[in-house]
Amino acid sequence: MPVKNHLRSLAVPLVAGVMLTAAACGDDGDGGADDRPSALPAKSGAVALDGVCPETVTVQTSWLPNATSFGPLYALLGDSPEVDANRKRATAPLVADGKDTGISLELRAGGPAIGFSTTSAQMYTDEDIDLGVVGGFDEIVQLSATQPTTAVLALLEKDPTMIYWDPETYPEFETIEDVGKSDTTVLYFGGDTYMEYLTGTGILDRDQVDGSFDGSPARFVASGGKLASSGYAAEDPYMYEHEIDDWRKPIKGQLVYEAGYPIYGPSLVVRNERKDELAPCLEKLVPVIQQSQVDYLRDPDATIATIVDIAEQYKGGDVLTEGIATYGIGEMKKLGIAADDAEGKDATVGNFETPRVQEIIDIDKPIFDKQKKPVKDGLEPADVVTNEFLDPEIGHGG
């Protein structure tokens, strides 16, 4: 399927597979529809959401609990969340700046918890879901004609997907393009849209890519590093060096974003038909999440502990350790995966840049047309994103 599959499995040791999560992207910019600021000031304290939001705001995420993709949302859960391990849902009072907002937040796990359905499909199946987090922005483009959603906030600035290799085996590789100049096999999840971009532009050769990747490092390790593979920059380097017993040395890679695929990853979306209904709520809630994005990067430890605890209760097969999560925070800052001003243009966190969204549409539309999955006729950035609920004053630099 063209939507990113976030299944990750480890071998620690190699013969004993366990699994790990991943996720996706976002960026800066000036936005898809209009750019009106909300009434909530930056870094505000208590904000009352009762009366304008549902009593419980239900958010469908794209995977199991994950510190890279969903940290700012889990940071809004109050103390001692109620965890339904069977249905993989966590519910608590929605707390902003340590104060109860008057409503509750329910975070629902995706991926294996919903039969690997897309977030968009689940939102159209279950009308109790108010908002969703799509794992890859190309999902919004792909389903714009059949299950339309509008992104109201980018949770990450860049997609953390990368292609990696063994620097000892291939010391000459510095970029994905270098990999493409060789005959090195590249493993990836079949159907991932970014690979259609990489092969369609000739950065990688179609004959060298292998779409049978299942998330396990087993083939890469067994090859002695002679293969290259898709992975996640905020997680895989730590895992290979510190948690995969049969490897225990560095890997090297490059973000697919840096190879010219400017994709947004995890983004908060609303079904188009509910956007007007939820607008009063979104005007106050979205800035709360923006501030949570800023605060989470500054002080993630308590939230990481909560996410790891909930993930352990779910027993979903994914392994999320505090070591992986803490490393991920550092890499997100280092690589600009979760930081404002990624391209030196502005300081607002979570917003969308119209030219970048148009570029994504221009890249993805021919891919989906070829796959006989046409997007909405005349699709424009304003059809899939809006900055209208964001507070432009909230940013990491403030």
If asked whether residues 367 and 294 sit together in one domain, one would say yes
If asked whether residues 283 and 142 sit together in one domain, one would say yes
Residue-wise burial string across 26-62, b where 16 or more C-beta atoms lie within 10 A, e elsewhere: bbbbbbbbebebbebebebeebebeebbbeebbbbbb
3-class SS of residue 397 = coil
Which range among 27-36, 212-221, 342-351 shows the weakest confidence by mean pLDDT? 27-36
Quick one: pLDDT at residue 354?
96
* Strand bridging mode 89-96 / 99-108: antiparallel
If asked whether residues 215 and 145 sit together in one domain, one would say no
**Listed residues 259, 279, 311: the one ending a domain:** 259
Quick one: pLDDT at residue 264?
82
pLDDT class for 191, splitting at 50, 70, 90? confident
If asked whether residues 246 and 275 sit together in one domain, one would say no
Mean pLDDT in residue range 120-133: 97
Mean pLDDT in residue range 326-350: 79
Average pLDDT taken over every residue of the chain: 87
CATH of the domain at 343: 3.40.190.10
Mean pLDDT in residue range 46-74: 94
**Listed residues 259, 284, 312: the one ending a domain:** 259
If asked whether residues 255 and 293 sit together in one domain, one would say no
**Listed residues 236, 259, 282: the one ending a domain:** 259
d(CA 290, CA 47): 13
Quick one: pLDDT at residue 11?
38
Listed residue (86, 105, 87) closest to 95, CA to CA: 105
Other C-beta atoms within 10 Å of 16: how many? Answer: 9
Mean pLDDT in residue range 291-300: 95
Range of the domain at 245: 161-259
Quick one: pLDDT at residue 136?
85
Residue 398 counted as domain residue: no
Number of domains composing the chain: 2
d(CA 325, CA 235): 8
pLDDT class for 397, splitting at 50, 70, 90? low
